[in-house]
A and B are shown apart, each in its own frame.
Chain A
Amino acid sequence: MTEHTSNRRRLRLVAILFATAFAAAACGSDDSSASDSASGGECDTIDEVSLQLQWFAQAQFAGYYAAVDQGFYEEQCLNVTILEGGVDIVPQQQLGSGAADYAISWVPKALVSREEGIDIVNVGQIFQRSGTLQVSFADAGISGPADLAGRKVGSWGFGNEFELLAGSRAAGVEPGTDYEIVQQNFDMLALINGEIDAAQAMTYNEYAQVLETVNPATGELFTESDLSVIDWNEVGTAMLQDAIWADGAKIASDAAYQDQTTRFVAGSVKGWAWCRDNADACVDVVLASGTTLGKSHQTWQLNEINKLIWPSPGGAGVMDTALWDQTIEVATSEAVLTGAPDDGAYTPDYATAALALISDVDARGSDWSPVEVTLLEGGS
C-alpha cells in the first residue's frame, strides 16, 4: 500500500512538473498587439486592415512600416497589421483566401495566379522599375545577354526567371541550349565560389551581399568594379515588381472596401514619400522591426528601393502603362501567361483618388537623387 501511495505521489509530481512548464510557457505567449488603438477624433470608425508581404521585414517594405510607425495609416482611419512572408506564404494566395486584406506581389506572379482563377486587382503600382540583375565577375566578360552563351547561369526559378529568359532570347541566345540554367539559392555563394558564371540578384539585396563579402584574393571587400551586371531595364525585358493587390470581388461590389482601399494606398504612398525624404529615420524604423537586420545593408537597400520608386512620373502607385504592356508582352511571349489579362487586372482609380487624399505630399519625387551608401562586412 505504501508503494502504491508513493507511486501516486510521483505521478502527481510529474504532472505538476509538466503543468508548471506549460504554465510558464503560457505566460507571455500573448501576442503583443502593436496597435495603439486610440487615434484622432476625426475617425468615426477605425478599419482593421492586414497587409501580406512577400518576405520578412526589410527596407523593401519600408514604406508600409513607416506608414504604421509614423501614423500615416492612422490618419486614414486604418489600423494596419503587417503580415510577414515565409517560405510557403504566397501573398496573392493569402489575399485570395481571405487571410489578408491586401498583398504585395510582383506583377507577373500575381497575373499567373489571376489566370489560375484568383480574383485579385492591382490597385497601386509602387515600384516603377525592375530591381533584378544578372551579376557576374568583371573578368568573366559578361556585359550583355549575348555573352551568356556557353555559361552556367544561376536563376531562382519559381517565376523569377522570365526577364532572363526573354532577355537572352531577344539577344539570340536560347536558354537551356546555348547556356545552362542552374537553380540558385537565395544567397550569392555559388557565384563567389565560382560554381556559376552569372547569378541572379536584386539590386537591393543579393548584389549588396557580394559587396559585403571579403574577396579572398585581396582580403578586402569586393567592390563594384569587380562586378559586371546585366540590367533588364536597359535590355528592355524588365517586368513590373512590387505592387499593392486587392480582392477583386470586394473591389467590384463593396463600397466600404473601395473607400478603405483608397485610404490604404494613400497611407502607403505617404509612407514611401517619407522614406524618400527621411531615409535615415526610415532605416531606423526598418531596423526596429527586425533584430537581425544589418544597418549598412538596410541603408543600401532603402536607397536602391527608392531608385525603383522615384521618380514616379505619374505619381507613386500610378501604373506606368508602357511597362505594364511590356510586362504582359514578355509574360505571354514566354508562355508564362496564356493570354493578356482583361482590363480588370489593374485599375488606376484608387491610386489617383489616393493621391488626391494626400495632395500635400510630393508623390512624384522628381527632385530626388540617390545617395552613396558604404557597405560594411556582413552588411552590419
Chain B
Amino acid sequence: MSNAMHNKTLTELKAGLAAGDFSSRELTEHFLARIQQHDSELNSFITVTAEQALSQADAADQAIAAGNTGLLTGLPIAHKDIFCTEGVRTSCGSKMLDSFIAPYTATVVEKMAAEGAVMLGKTNMDEFAMGSSNETSYYGPVKNPWDLERVPGGSSGGAAACLGARLAPGATGTDTGGSIRQPAALNNITGLKPTYGRVSRWGMIAFASSLDQAGPMAQSSEDCALMLQAMAGHDHRDSTSLNEKVDDYLGALNNDIRGLTIGIPEEFFPDTLDGAIADNSRDAIRELEKLGAKVVSVSLPSVKLSVPAYYVIAPAEASSNLSRFDGVRFGHRCDDPKDLEDLYKRSRSEGFGDEVKRRILVGAYALSAGYYDAYYRRAQQVRRLIRDDFARAFEKVDVLMGPTAPETAFKLGAKKDDPVSMYMADVFTIGVNLAGLPALSMPTGFINGLPTGTQIIGNYFREGQILNVAHKYQQATDWHKQAPVFGGEQ
C-alpha cells in the first residue's frame, strides 16, 4: 500500500491520515525516501529538510491523535525556495543567496504550518524566478520527469517536476508571468495563480512586486482548493494584500456548471499555434460543454502586447527590487573589495547569473532619464488597455479558456541563447499577471508523450469558480491522473 501513497492526492492522503491508514511520519518518510532515491536525476529540490519534516510529522501525528487537526495536518508540502524559512537556507535559486539563512518565515509558509503542513524542503527554481525553463538556477537545471532531456518549465520548475514525479503531493509556487501555470502544464499537474493580493507576499522574495503572486500546485484542482484555503487571506504586513473575505473553495468545488459561460479569446488560438496544442484545449472546452457550459468567442485585442509590456514592467521593478542585494548586509560578498564601488560591482556580478543581469539592465534602462516615457510609462498604459480588455470580456463570460503554453516541454538548452524566444513561452499567461486576475492550468492531454495544459482565467477573486470548473473537468476525465514512467516504476 505504501508504494501507492505517492500516487494519491492530498485529499486522499488527508482521508488516509484521518482513517489511520498511515501516519504522517510514514507518509513523510515515504516522500523523503522518494526524494532521496530520484531527485539526483531530477534536481527538483535545492534543500531537503528531512529532520524538520519528521519532527513536524510527529507533531502532526500527535495532533491527529488528539483530534486537533487543521486543513493540512500531516500532509507533506514542498516550498519553492523563494519563500523565506527561518533557520533554513533560502536561495531564490541564486548564488547571491547561497549562504542566506533566512532570519524569518514567509506568511504563506507560516499559514500552512499553522494548518499542520509538513515541509519536505525547498524546491529549485529559475534564479529570482526569472525564467521559463528552470535553466537559470544557480543549482543547475531541473529535468522534466516526462523526458529527462527536456525542461520542466519555470520558474516554479522544481515544484512542478517534483509533483509530476510524485516526489511530493503538494507544492507552493509563485507566478509573475506564468511561473506556476506554464510548468504545471509541462509536468501534467494543476496549478493556480490567485488574484493579485489574495495571498500575502510577505517573506516571498520579490521579483516584480506588482505582478508576483503565490499559489498552490498539486495533482488536482481539489488539492489546489485545499491548499489555497490555507494560503489565502489578508496580511497586515503586505499593503497589497486585500482585506477580502476568503471564499469556501472546497465547498464550491461541486457547484453545478450548467449555464456557465466560457469565453474563448481568439488571440489564444492564433494561426501560428501548434494545431495539436490548440486541439487539446478545444477538446477540454468541449468536455465542459458536455457538462452544460456555454461557449462564446471573445476578443482581447491588446493582449498581444502583454509580452512587450511585461518585459518592461517586470524588469523595471526587478532592477529596483534586486538593488538590496549589494553585499553589505546579507548574501554574497566578493573577496577583498578594494573600495565600495568594487564591493558593489563584483559582489553583484558574481552573485547574479546572466539572465538576472540582463533583466536588471533592461529595467534600469527602461527607467532611466529620457526613456521612462517611451518604455515604462507606455508599458503601464498598455497594461491598462489589457486590463480593460479582460474587464470587457468578463461582462459577457464567467471564465476564459485557452492553452496554457504555446508548446510542450522543449529540450534543455534549446532556447539558451535566445531570450526573446524563451519569453514567448509565457505569451498566454502574462496578460493575466498584468491584469491581476486569477488563473489555473490543468492537464488536458498529451502530444508525443508530453503533457499539455489548458488555462482557465476567472474574474477578480473568483478562484472558487475556477477551481469548481477544473474540478468538474477532472471528475469527468483522467488526464490529471497520468504520471510519468519514472525511475522504473509507476
Q: Do A and B interact?
A: no
Residues in A lying within 8 Å of B, measured CB to CB: none
Residues in B lying within 8 Å of A, measured CB to CB: none
